[in-house]
Structure 1
């Protein structure tokens, strides 16, 4: 048997660090389920999700894989979130700000400690900024003015 390469060691280290903070598949499942209950009942985001998510069970499974890929195990999720969000149409900073508010409230209730919560907060902030930037570039072109990071208030 050969010694693990850099990528394998990096993945193992990331998983060990996550587990040490209490981040595991059970936490991610609880986080995603709790968050999307809040989203579905939200006056701003609920109607958007209801219009674009036909089957919630597979959507939640994909979101669990997505967040597991972010926090635990790179490569678990396959897909293109940017294209999905561009296809929704009409999304702007107000939607991502609200998404982050709901996400952070959920973390306040679900995260086992501040360190675990911070992992998910920072990732969500980067993801929201990236998606908003991509949407603005797609909609307005490269010369669209302010960056997404400047327009997100959370």
Structure 2
């Protein structure tokens, strides 16, 4: 059995939403912040607009959904390459459902990934569809969440 390799990731989140009185009241501060990591562009974050955030910025819920979608894409491309399926196009219209709890918290209950995959040959469509399960099994992010990640792939042949 191969030994496990460990990877460490580091980010910095800096709150930029002190409007002068800090968190004096729930409405007295902005949820705005900056997210950065070494070697990549920083981006602006906030809370979801439903939680007094800026809808023009990324929020943690969108980032979680994007991470699941990206991870599935990367795992899927890997398993396709390893199994002789030539992918020539891929897009995903992912949707996640989060429910609030009565105590002010909440949790995701499910995510649906809807990858639209284009393959090089009609002979690859069946295997291309089946490999989504393997990609999900290998996806680091899907393996790290406590809710189901479902897939509704569509496969088409490149013109």
TM-score range with shorter-chain normalisation? 0.3 to 0.5
Task: Choose 1 or 2 for highest CA Rg.
Answer: 2
- Choose between structure 1 and 2: higher strand proportion: 2
TM-score (norm 1): 0.37
